[in-house]
A and B are shown apart, each in its own frame.
Chain A
Amino acid sequence: SQTIHQWPATLVQPVGSPLSLECTVEGTSNPNLYWYRQAAGRGLQLLFYSVGIGQISSEVPQNLSASRPQDRQFILSSKKLLLSDSGFYLCAWSLDRGRYGYTFGSGTRLTVV
């Protein structure tokens, strides 16, 4: 069966520090991968998605970047965190253009202080 792992679960980082959040999927090949951010009262904001290794689509210009170095690995990064980067970050995967829905990881709560 397919599983998705996302870590860490919580993270407190100072302003200006770097960020690396990792997401891996097991039990499937060539999934579409997604990073969402959820801020209080603002729903889910799609940040990046990837349909293959090295292919990244950015939805919102911002202080973050994403990379997909392996088929089932998706990394969210920042060189210098801002206070506004705080939020709940969710990774998800899908097949067949999301026809069957997305499967989400358990999320990372990031607090920038």
Chain B
Amino acid sequence: AQSVTQPDIHITVSEGASLELRCNYSYGATPYLFWYVQSPGQGLQLLLKYFSGDTLVQGIKGFEAEFKRSQSSFNLRKPSVHWSDAAEYFCAVGGNRDDKIIFGKGTRLHILP
């Protein structure tokens, strides 16, 4: 069965510092992988996705993620965070064997001024 693990419930970084949010997945075939962001009281917005090709994926708002099959990981990175990046981030996995994607429990990002 597919599953997603986001090991960090909360992460705090200073504004301007670099960021890496971890995501590990389990899927029995080539996965579709996603990162979403959610501001309080809002729906989820897709940051980036991977389903084939280049394993380094660029997304919106300056985010990128790298698919590492050997580590079953899809970590999200940003070189310099802004206060507006404070939100909750969800990693998700799906694939062409399924009609649904499964979300991790999320990582809440806090930004120090």
> Which residues from chain A sit less than 8 Å from chain B, CB to CB?
6, 32, 34, 36, 41-44, 46, 49, 51, 57, 59, 88, 90, 92, 94, 97-107, 109
| Chain A-chain B contacts (Cβ-Cβ < 8 Å), number | 68
User: Is B25 part of the contact surface with A, judged by Cβ < 8 Å?
Assistant: no
Given A97-B99, A98-B101: A103 touches B94 (CB 8 Å cut-off): no
How many angstroms between the C-alpha atoms of A43 and B90 in the bound complex?
A: 8
> Which residues from chain B sit less than 8 Å from chain A, CB to CB?
32, 34, 36, 41-46, 49, 51, 90, 94-96, 98-106
Are A97 and B105 neighbours in the complex by a CB distance under 8 Å?
no
Are B46 and A51 neighbours in the complex by a CB distance under 8 Å?
no
Are A44 and B41 neighbours in the complex by a CB distance under 8 Å?
no
Are A100 and B106 neighbours in the complex by a CB distance under 8 Å?
no
Are A98 and B99 neighbours in the complex by a CB distance under 8 Å?
yes
Q: Which of B41, B42, B51 sits near A99, CB closer than 8 Å?
A: B51
Having A46-B100, A101-B34, one finds 7 other A-B pairs with CB under 8 Å, namely A43-B105, A46-B103, A101-B32, A101-B36, A101-B46, A104-B43, A104-B44
Chain A residue with Cβ nearest B48:
A101
Nearest-Cβ distance from residue A75 to partner chain B, whole angstroms: 18
List, in ascending order, chain A residues with CB within 8 A of B51's CB. 99-100
List, in ascending order, chain B residues with CB within 8 A of A94's CB. 101
Q: Which of B32, B43, B104, B105 sits near A98, CB closer than 8 Å?
A: B32
